[in-house]
Structure formats: structure tokens, C-alpha cells
A = this chain, B = another copy of it.
Amino acid sequence: MRLTKFYLPVMKETPSEAQIASHRLMLRAGMMRQEGAGIYAWLPLGFRVLKKIEQIVREEQDRAGAVEMLMPTIQQADLWRESGRYDAYGKEMLRIEDRGGREMLFGPTNEEMITEIVRAGMRSYKDLPKLLYHIQWKFRDEVRPRFGVMCGREFLMKDAYSFDFDDESGRRSYNKMFAAYLRTFERMGLKAIPMRAETGPIGGDLSHEFIILADTGESAVFCDKRLIEMPVPQKDTDFDGDLQSIVDQFTAHYAATDEMHDEAEFEKTVEEENRIAARGIEVGHIFFFGTKYSKPMKAMVAGSDGKDVPIQMGSYGVGVSRLVGGLIEAFHDDDGCKWPMAVTPFHAGLVNLKAGDAETDEACEKIYRELEAAGVEVLYDDTPARPGEKFARMDLIGLPYQIVIGPRGVKSGNAELKRRSDGEREDIALDAVASHVSALVRDALVYD
């Protein structure tokens, strides 16, 4: 992608309304623009990160056996009256009246709708188990939206729903999502720790929040250090097999959010050197709530004895748009973002230090073409801006590698390659740049 064709409105000033790093950097790096309280437009740079996160979430849902679909954003109020949540949900629900006076709402979550869908299409225990998910925009009318995408009103969520005949099978579905979540966040470069958590308005008695540690996290968390080093399930994991040992392993050590924290138990079960008391960001939340929705909404299947029983259900959320902010909180410095390769908007930046100079242009164009042919996503700064501005902009947007080419380098036959994560620089022969960088990118994208 040529920067002259891209739209990257970076800001020099730090926006005064932004209190945390991710909010500041997303605005400054031209990743998004506020279009209302807690409502953002995803500009091209931010959009690319959002899509990569979404795709990792999708791949791991598919691997776990979940099937993708898509529910609409607008729901009918009557559906929520069936579950009893229409009145219970309060002011966070954005209520809407259409031209015919019908009561509707912008969905904050989809338990009711998916229950309505499956009750129409599932008849027998033979239709189960099933796992369905969608990745859709939700709206929660937060009283005080803040911290950019971390606590916005319109947000992108992956929500999966499991349908099983009995409790035991339901717990197997829960375990699939538990294991899939460990993999999902790991692939983004994040260590998310499953913690016992309150179930809140979703309901049920089995629930885990997946929390990444960050100083700017919204809640205090307490856990055993050994959880952080625990290897996550590999990609050849059999999701139709027994995953209980994985869940047992990750729940064997203490981990709880402040709502569920028990200081006495923490001190009793975790040795002092292993105790972590930190702040955390919730990036996923899974629930097994049995018949909470299927019973009042009459989503029933017949057992082998012909008798109808309500379906056992769970729901499983990942905050896709929130993860963009969470990743920046985890990966940034004073100069800007430092994207892990799996979620970076582009793999590399190519900086032409003297656009308009025939020889430099030619060298850059050649490497640009070679990188694109090799499948490297490259943002080519072909603008006439000054070198200092170009360097600052590249550091701000935080691509993993910067390839810098100027007239002097062209004469000596070299480009400078800078690694954003630690600032390390090396000279590379112009002829070798594309193969060298594409190997670095390829190696960084391998995962187990």
C-alpha cells in the first residue's frame, strides 16, 4: 500500500480527552476518529488491526468446532420480554421505536435471539450438540463512555452459544471454548488468564473471565504466577476429545477478579513469591447457564424417551474491538505502538527518504514490488514529507519492521532495517531486503 493512496491522518498533539495510552495512540496514529460519545469510526490503519484480530478469533472458533452465522443488530423488545430481561437490563440497553411504533432495541448481546432461532430448528437430542457464533456490532449505552475502544458504546464482539442435551455435554462445550480462548489470545501475543468471575446479567453459576494484565486495567486481579508461564493447548488439539485436563490445569491455581477475590484463600494457597496482585483488562468472558433462557423461552428438544427437555446453553464472548486497545496497552512505548506480527496493520514500512529522486524512487519501487510479490504487507511512505516526520510517523504507527532507503544508501547499495520492538538497526544489501524481511515475517507468523 502506498501512503499517498492510504488515509493516515496522524496527529502531533496528544488529544486532551484521552487518559490512557491506547486511546491516545489510536487517535494520534490515525487509527480511529470519534463520531460520538463512545462511538468511533475505524480509519484504514485501525481497521486492518481490527480485521486481523477478528480473523484470529474466527480461526480458533472454527478450529474448536463452532459454526459462524450473523444475527442482526436490531432486535424486537418482545423477545427480551420472554426471558424477563427487557425490564431488568436497565438504561444500558438502547431502546428504539420504529416508524410503526414497534418497540425494538440495538442488541447488547444475543442470548434471547439465538434461543429463538434454535427453538425453531432443533427438535431432538440428535440435533445436539451444536456450537454457533457470530461477530457483530453491539451497543451498550454506557453512562460514562471513556478510554476509547476499551469502554465504548458501539463495539465489536464475538459471541458464541452452545446447545447441549445434558449438563455433562454442556460442560464439554464450555471446555471447548475455554481451550479455544487460551489459544486465541496467545496467537495475538497476549497472555490471558482465566479467572473465576461473577456471572452478572448473563446468569449461571459457571463462568470465567479471561484477563490480560495491564497497569491501566479496569479491575484489580489476583493470581498465581505459574498460570502465566503455563503453555496453552497446541493447534493439533482434538477439540472433540476430552479437554477437562486442560481446564483443570488452568484452574488448579488461584486466579480471581476483585469481585470474587478471597484474600485468605489467596494467601493460604499461593506461596508469597508466586502471588501476583495487579490490574487486568477483561478480553473474554464465558458462561455456562444451563436452562436460564431455554426454559422460559421454551427451547426444548425431545430425548430418546420422547420427552421434551429444555436445552442446556452457554455463551462465550470475546471483545474484538476492545482487544485493539488491550493490545496497545500491552505493546507500546513513548514513541507509539509496537505491534506483534500477528495483528500489525502492515508487516513492514518502507521509507523513501527522498521521494522524487529518480534513483531512490527506483530502488524503493523495486523493493516494494518484491515485498508485495512475497506476500509481505508493506506500507510504502512515498510522500514528500521530511525524513524526521517520516521516522516519527513510522514509530507512531508501530509496524514491526522499517526499511529505510535514501540516496546515500542507494549509492552504497544498502537499506537500513529497523526493528520497532527494540530499536535494533542493521544494514542490508538492497538486493537482499525482500527475501530477508519476508523470512522474518514468515518466521514470526508461525504458531503452534
A contact set with B: CB distance below 8 Å: 1, 5-7, 9, 30, 33, 35-37, 39-44, 47, 50, 65, 67-76, 79, 91-92, 94, 96, 98-100, 102, 104, 106, 113, 116-118, 120-122, 126, 130-132, 137, 139, 141, 143, 153-154, 384
Contacts and interface: CB of A to CB of B under 8 A. Distances in A.
Contacts of A68: 44, 47
A154 B105 CA distance: 13
A61 B1 CA distance: 14
A99 B91 contact: yes
Contacts of A130: 5, 7
A47 B68 CA distance: 7
B73 A41 contact: no
B5 A72 contact: no
A73 B94 CA distance: 13
A41 B67 contact: no
B141 A5 contact: no
A39 B91 contact: no
Contacts of A131: 5
B72 A113 contact: no
Contacts of A74: 36, 39, 106, 139, 153-154
Nearest to A65: B5
B35 A50 contact: no
Copies in the complex: 2
B5 A35 contact: no
B7 A121 contact: yes
Nearest to A41: B71
B36 A75 contact: yes
12 contacts: A5-B67, A35-B71, A35-B76, A35-B117, A39-B74, A41-B70, A42-B70, A44-B132, A50-B70, A73-B137, A91-B99, A94-B98
Contacts of A113: 35, 41
A9 B73 CA distance: 22
Contacts of A384: 126
Name the residue in A7, A72, A98, A141 with the highest tally of chain B Cβ atoms < 10 Å from its Cβ. A72
Q: Which 7 A-B pairs have the closest CB atoms?
A: A9-B121, A42-B70, A41-B71, A91-B99, A99-B141, A44-B69, A72-B154
Given A121-B7, A121-B9, A35 B72 contact: yes
Given A5-B130, A7-B121, A96-B106, 20 more contacts: A1-B67, A5-B67, A7-B67, A7-B118, A7-B132, A9-B122, A30-B121, A35-B79, A36-B102, A37-B100, A39-B72, A42-B71, A44-B67, A47-B70, A74-B153, A94-B96, A96-B96, A98-B153, A106-B106, A137-B137
B98 A69 contact: no
Nearest to A163: B7
A42 B1 CA distance: 33
B7 A120 contact: no
A72 B143 contact: no
Contacts of A7: 67, 69, 118, 121, 130, 132
B120 A33 contact: yes
A266 B71 CA distance: 45
A1 B131 CA distance: 13
A76 to B, nearest CB: 5
A9 B132 CA distance: 13
A160 to B, nearest CB: 12
A118 B43 CA distance: 10
Contacts of A69: 7, 41-44, 47
A69 B8 CA distance: 11
Contacts of A70: 41-42, 47, 50
Nearest to A105: B96
Given A7-B67, A67-B5, A35 B116 contact: yes
Contacts of A137: 72-73, 137
